Structure 1
Amino acid sequence: MSLALADASIALIADFLNDGVEKQYPPSLQAILHRYPSPPTALNREQLIEIAREKNGGKLAKSKALKALEGNSNAAVLRLTGLAFAEPDVEIQMRLLIGLGGVGVPTASAILTWTNPNKFAVIDRRACAALMSIVDTDINPKSVAGWISYLAIAKRVAKRLGVTPMIVDRRLYSLGDSGPKRSG
Structure 2
Amino acid sequence: MLEHFEAKYPEKEDMYEEEVAQLESLPTAFEEGEWSREDLEWIIEWKVGVFLKPVLRNLRENDDEEVRTRIEEAVHETSIRFKAKALTSLKGIGVPVASAILLFVNPNRFTVIDERAWDVLQQTGYLSQELSEDPTVDEYLIYLGACWTLANEYDVCLRTLDRALWVLDIEGESITSD
TM bin (shorter chain) = 0.7 to 0.9
Please report the RMSD computed on the Cα atoms of aligned residues, expressed in angstroms. Answer: 2.6
Q: Take 2:28 and 2:120, find their aligned partners in 1: how far apart are those partners?
A: 28
Larger helix proportion, structure 1 or 2?
2
Q: Take 2:41 and 2:6, find their aligned partners in 1: how far apart are those partners?
A: 29
Structural mapping, 1:1-184, within 5 Å: 17=2, 19-22=4-7, 27-38=17-28, 40-41=30-31, 42=33, 43-57=35-49, 59-61=51-53, 63=54, 65-135=55-125, 137-140=128-131, 142-176=135-169, 178-180=172-174
Aligned residue pairs: how many? Answer: 164
Deviations 1:123-147 (A, max 9, x none): 0111111111111611526111111
TM-score under structure 1 normalisation? 0.77
SS in 2 for 1:145: helix
Given the superposition, is the C-alpha separation of residues 173 and 133 from structure 1 closer, same or farther in structure 2, using an over 3 Å criterion?
same
Q: Take 1:39 and 1:88, find their aligned partners in 2: how far apart are those partners?
A: 18
Deviations 1:59-100 (A, max 9, x none): 413x2x221111111111111110111111101110000011
Unaligned runs of 5+ in 1: 1-15
Deviations 1:125-175 (A, max 9, x none): 111111111116115261111110111111122123222222212211112
1:56 Cα offset (Å)? 1.3
Q: Percent identical across equivalent pairs? A: 29
Runs of at least 4 residues of structure 1 off by over 4 A?
none
Q: Determine if contact 2:151/2:157 at 8 Å carries over to the other structure.
A: yes
Unaligned runs of 5+ in 2: 11-15
SS in 2 for 1:122: coil
